[in-house]
Structure formats: structure tokens, C-alpha cells
Structure 1
Amino acid sequence: MEILVTGGAGFIGSAVVRALAAAGHGVRVLDALLPAVHPSGRAPDLPSDVTFCHGDVRDAAAVEETLAGVDAVCHQAAMVGLGLDLDDAPAYAGCNDLGTAVLLAAMARTGVRHLVLAGSMVVYGEGRYRCAEHGDVAPGPRRPADLDAGRFEPPCPVCGTTLAPGLVTEDAPPDPRNVYAATKLAQEHLASAWARACQGTVLTLRYHNVYGPGMPRDTPYAGVASLFRSALARGEAPRVFEDGGQRRDFVHVEDVAAANLAALAALPSRPVGSARAYNVGSGEVRTVGEMAEALAEAHGGPAPVVTGQYRLGDVRHITADSARLRTELGWRPQVPFRTGTAEFAAVVLRPD
């Protein structure tokens, strides 16, 4: 196939591009090289047979030009991370939602009917919880007073007792708890509306905590693994928020790229006018503290420091059930946690 990868110069996007090119697909990249992710403004080092187009998904003319002759779009372009404060809201909505709307409108005009959308587990808010007395429950946002007191676990909304966290499935109701999460959910709704209106097909891959070679250095929008790795590169101890017990599913970027290939291969056999979401996680439940410890040990750096600090927009536990992706698309993660963290601890972080 001839595939357009938006955001193909980014951390995940470039891994997808390399995997597609290695599989023999024709690949073109559209990327704005935004300063928050690419401070140097330089185009990335991509395979020689990949066509790179410097442009923004919010630019209708640039998008339509890159869509000519394309069979499918792999939409990775987005402003990521929790952000610094609500002043970031217009930028998130512009990059993620306006950009997606412009792309979908151009796909409608040019007759491109296959889309793989980079989604995120943040659309769920908190993960799945079970109360011994009241069964499955959905805890509300954690209270600042509890967090200030070091009470990080969300209580049962009915009886206030401690909850047991579990795996969240794609059928869980969305509950976005920050601006970034809200824009990622809006992307899914926009793509679903496009599929119904244009007889298109969209598969959304809800990434969990992606890490691996190619992550950018320490920025306000970087993932936690990159923040820990950046600290170690400076000779500093990784700083772990809360008590380090936050449960996450850390999935290697190569496995995420493989999931994109599986989704693209499945698109032609999916019903037209349909949209379906898939969790993309390793299946290994780990804590944020474990990630910091694994990186510090493999890097030979100072042990992590647990700070007790918190961010109100963060959730306590969110881990994936990726059975749907494994069963329906035949995908399997290949990089175990210990292997991936040892590799990541040794690589040089991307300078820009």
C-alpha cells in the first residue's frame, strides 16, 4: 500500500514509518516539526525511500497534496502529554482536534477511505476498580486534600474503602480527566463520524505508556520513562511522583509500530462505515516506581527518589486488557519489560 503517516517524524511515528518501509509499503510523511518536539526544526533521519513533507495537518492544502495516490492514512500527529496548565488547551485542541478534522475533510474530498488513528488510554480516566462490597465502581477525581495527605488510592465512591485495580477493556465508558484526554476522545468521535458519512473504515489504537529508543529528551510533554531516563543522563536520581505505586502498562515502541502494521493490514476486511478501538499494551502490569528502578539499575545511576508530589490531572491506575487486539488482529507484544528497559537505559536520547 501507499501510506501517509502524519506525525511521522515523532517518536512513535518514526518507528511506524521504519516498520512500514521495512515491510515494503510506500510511505510518505507529513510533519510540522513543532518546536516543542523538534527544537532544531530539522527533518528526521528516515529511510531513504520515504518521502518527507514538511507541513501541518491543519493546513488543508498541504494535507490534500500529500493524500494524492494514498491508500490509507496512519494518523500519529498530535500534541501529547498532560500539559503545563489550562493555557495549553487551545494548542491541544488545535493540533489534535482541528488537525484531525482538516485531515478527515481532505480524505473525504480525495476518496481515501482507510484510517488508523493513534488513540490513547487517557480517554478512560481512571482504570477499572472493584470494591469487595459494591463490585465494579467508577471512582471520581481524587481530592487535593487526600493527595496532600499522601492518600493516593481512590476510595470506593459508595463506602470509601480501598479498591482493587484491574484491567480496563475497550468497552469501558470514557472519562477524560484533562484537556489532552478530552482532545484524544474527540479525535475518535470525529473519525467515527467520518467513517459513517464517507463509508470509510477506522481502527483506533489506544496506546498505553509507550517507551523505547527515539524518545525525546526531557520536555514538559515527554512521557515518564523519558523523564526518568533524562535525569539519569544528567547524573541525577529519577524523581517519582506520589508513592511510586501508580500501575501502568509500559509497551515498547517497536510493539506499537507492529500494532499499526496489523491494523493497516486489517482495514480492507473491515465493514465500511465502521470504527473499532483496540488497547495496545504489553500485558505486563508495572508501577511507575518499578520503571524508575529498572532504568536506574540498568543505567548504573542513582536510585530513584520518591517525592510525594502529584499532578491533579494524573490518574492513579490505568492498565490495559489487550485481548481484543491479540484475538482479532493477531498481534503479540515481543519486547519484555526487562529487555526493553535495559535497552532504553543504554541508548542516547533523541536530542530534538
Structure 2
Amino acid sequence: MILVTGGAGFIGSHIVSAFTSTGHEVRVLDALLPAAHRTPPPVPDGVDWRHADVRDRGAVADALRGVDAVCHQAAMVGLGKDFADAPDYVGCNDLGTAVLLAGMAAAGVHRLVLASSMVVYGEGRYECARHGVVRPGPRRTVDLEAGRFEPPCPHCGEPLAAGPVGEEAPADPRNVYATTKLAQEHLAASWARATGGRAAALRYHNVYGPGMPRDTPYAGVASLFRSALARGEAPQVFEDGGQRRDFVHVRDVAGANLTAMDGLSALPEGVLRAYNVGSGEPHTVGEMASALAAAHGGDAPVVTGEYRLGDVRHITASSRRLCDELGWKPVVGFAEGMAEFAKAALRAG
């Protein structure tokens, strides 16, 4: 049996469907936090449902009985309003993960697939013509106010060329949420070393697709654009629309979890292995907004020049490791996925 924490959420529910459709027995543990779930989700047929918080030691111990592996999706996501939200993020993400891992150690459960994120990298991979691969620092408010959105070389100030980031890139989390996701990876790595467990950390890039929440802190930029179109409004694109991302369909993310779970036995004992999960088709945020608007039949996007401190300019994935080592392959292309999403109903949470 596989325990899926956060299995009632946007990504988690697709993962549960992927596991059950391939014959896995599934148990779900989900706290149904109001920020993520404004309406109770339906309970899938054949799934053992547990309404409890992953920080509840007793509930976790009970949920782990008879379990062979864990797929840990439960987390608080988003940038938050300000730093005052830090205790909530650390509590949900890091304390919750620590309680789960301690319960797994006590129960003798040795296989884990962890939902991580591209945000652990900070900015993506950049090269300077003079200085080679460099790591630009956080963008300055004065530059953003002036519409200078591209990060310069930290050594000479010249323009940089952006490229896909690999798993060996140094971590550089730029906000509280990103810091908690990296801490989750470190906790899982410590658990693996201490117990001889095997773990895969899947660093999701920008996930979108049917069932994506709207009007909640868990709504991604694709959902915000889709909601605007549904209201008859033009999507509002921040900066100049040129920020580049890897938009990966939720069914491909669910497939990556299934592939990683089946591939854990190939990992050495006591090891956590990180894998990027991206489509391999990077696009700008402006291109994504235009594709949604065209497919929906709505107004063309409006580029506002606004910005959010803490956002990064370019972050795209190299998912070669997951493809080469475990045989995963994304199957939903950008045009197909955006056309489907433009017509899909969003849910309130």
C-alpha cells in the first residue's frame, strides 16, 4: 500500500488516480487546509481516506500501518503575504515532514517519493561571455522599478544567456517557501542515511492542468490567467512577459511520481536522489498567457510592468536525469496542454 499525503490536492489527486489506475492500493492523508481546499473533494473509489494533519504524530502512525511506501505531497505553497507567514510554512512543510519521517522510521517504511520544487535553485542557469557560468544575486528593486528585468553578470554587469538548470546546480532558495522545500530534501536525506531508506525528490517546475485551484494562495500563474479569461478580462502579465519557465502538465507530474516510486528499488540504500520534472519545452510567461487567451477566445494579454519581489527571472529544467535513469517521458505538449487547460473548469480549492 502507498500512503499519499496531500492526496486531495491538485497534484496529489492526479497522483492518486495514477497509482490506482495501475493497480496500487492507496491510502490518502490530507488535512484539507482551508487555504487550499475551500470545498471538500470527493473521495475516490477504493481509496482509504484519512482526514488528518501530517503534523499529528498519532494520525501519522495510524496512517502508516500496513504501508510499504510514501508519496509525500502535503505542503503549504506560495510566497505568502510577508515574513510573518514563516512559522506557518515551516510548521506545515518542515515539522510535518519531520513527523512523517520519524513515523516512517518507527514503522520500518523505507521508500519515499518527495514533492520538491524548482524554487530550491533560485535563479536558473546563466552564462556570461566573459566569466562562464555565474550565479546572479537577487534582482534589485531599483532595476525592477526601471524595467530592467534581466539579471546582469555579478562580476561585470554584462547581459547573460539563460539555459536549463540541472540537479547538480547549487541551491539558492530566495524566499521562505523555497527554504522549506530545500529543508524537506535535507530531512529526507538524513532519514535515508539513518534508516537505509531510499528517496527520490521530484523538483516540480511550473505545474498546470485540469483541477488546478483558483482564487487561493495555491493558484499558479496559469490559473490566474485562466480565471481572468473566464471573467471576460485580459490576463495581466507582470514584468515584460519575457520571464521564462517550464510549464509541465499535471498528468506528466503524476506519471513522474509513478515512475519514481517504481524506480526506487534501483537506488542505493541510504540515498536521496533529486530529479527535475519539467516538460523540456520552455516558454515565456507572455507566450503562455497568449496561448491560453487564443485557445479560450478571450482578450489578448496586457503586459503591466509590475513585479513581485522574490520572483526569479528565468528557471527552466533539464529533466534528462529522470528520463535517462528511470525512463520517464513527458507526453503532454505545450500547445495541447494549454488548449485543454483553457477549456477546463477551475475549482475553488
Tell me the TM-score normalized by structure 2: 0.99
Q: Which amino acid aligns with 1:4?
A: L
C-alpha separation in 2, matches of 1:46 and 1:305: 39
Tell whether the 8 Å contact from 1:169 to 1:279 is kept in structure 2 after alignment. Answer: yes
Tell whether the 8 Å contact from 1:82 to 1:221 is kept in structure 2 after alignment. Answer: no
> Structure 1, unaligned stretches of length 5 or more?
none
Tell whether the 8 Å contact from 1:84 to 1:220 is kept in structure 2 after alignment. Answer: no
C-alpha separation in 2, matches of 1:194 and 1:186: 12
Q: SS of the residue aligned with 1:301?
A: coil
Show CA shifts across 1:8-43 (max 9, x none): 000000000000000000001000000001123x2x
Partner of 1:10: 9
Partner of 2:82: 85
Q: SS of the residue aligned with 1:276?
A: strand
The question of 1:341 aligning with 2:347 is answered no
Show CA shifts across 1:277-335 (max 9, x none): 00000000100111111111111111111111111110000000000000000000000
Partner of 1:268: 265
C-alpha separation in 2, matches of 1:320 and 1:46: 33
C-alpha separation in 2, matches of 1:282 and 1:225: 15
Tell whether the 8 Å contact from 1:167 to 1:319 is kept in structure 2 after alignment. Answer: yes
Post-superposition offset of 1:232: 1.0
Partner of 2:225: 228
Partner of 2:138: 141
C-alpha separation in 2, matches of 1:140 and 1:269: 37
Tell whether the 8 Å contact from 2:166 to 2:318 is kept in structure 1 after alignment. Answer: yes
RMSD over aligned Cα, in angstroms?
Answer: 0.8
Show CA shifts across 1:132-178 (max 9, x none): 11111110110000000000000001110110001100000000000
Q: SS of the residue aligned with 1:251?
A: strand
C-alpha separation in 2, matches of 1:158 and 1:351: 46
C-alpha separation in 1, matches of 2:274 and 2:245: 19
Tell whether the 8 Å contact from 1:14 to 1:46 is kept in structure 2 after alignment. Answer: no
Partner of 1:191: 188
Q: SS of the residue aligned with 1:298?
A: helix
Q: Which amino acid aligns with 2:324?
A: T
Tell me the TM-score normalized by structure 1: 0.98
Q: SS of the residue aligned with 2:49?
A: strand
Partner of 2:348: 351
The question of 1:112 aligning with 2:122 is answered no
| 1:25-174 mapped onto 2 (5 Å cutoff) | 25-40=24-39, 42=40, 44-174=41-171
**Identity across the alignment (%):** 72
Aligned pair partner of 2:208 in 200, 211, 214: 211
C-alpha separation in 2, matches of 1:226 and 1:329: 30
The question of 1:284 aligning with 2:281 is answered yes
Tell whether the 8 Å contact from 2:113 to 2:199 is kept in structure 1 after alignment. Answer: yes
Post-superposition offset of 1:242: 0.5
C-alpha separation in 2, matches of 1:51 and 1:297: 41
C-alpha separation in 1, matches of 2:285 and 2:61: 41
Post-superposition offset of 1:47: 2.6
Post-superposition offset of 1:269: 2.6
C-alpha separation in 2, matches of 1:223 and 1:91: 20
Tell whether the 8 Å contact from 2:215 to 2:348 is kept in structure 1 after alignment. Answer: no
Tell whether the 8 Å contact from 1:4 to 1:28 is kept in structure 2 after alignment. Answer: yes
The question of 1:257 aligning with 2:254 is answered yes
Show CA shifts across 1:90-117 (max 9, x none): 1111110000000000001111010000
Partner of 1:320: 317
C-alpha separation in 2, matches of 1:299 and 1:85: 34
Aligned pair partner of 1:301 in 269, 280, 298: 298
Tell whether the 8 Å contact from 1:83 to 1:221 is kept in structure 2 after alignment. Answer: no
Post-superposition offset of 1:45: 2.2
C-alpha separation in 1, matches of 2:229 and 2:84: 30
Tell whether the 8 Å contact from 1:21 to 1:47 is kept in structure 2 after alignment. Answer: no
C-alpha separation in 1, matches of 2:261 and 2:156: 45
Tell whether the 8 Å contact from 1:165 to 1:317 is kept in structure 2 after alignment. Answer: yes
C-alpha separation in 2, matches of 1:269 and 1:163: 38
Q: Which amino acid aligns with 2:84?
A: D
C-alpha separation in 1, matches of 2:304 and 2:224: 14
C-alpha separation in 2, matches of 1:139 and 1:282: 25
Moved more, 228-237 or 104-113: 228-237
Aligned length: 349
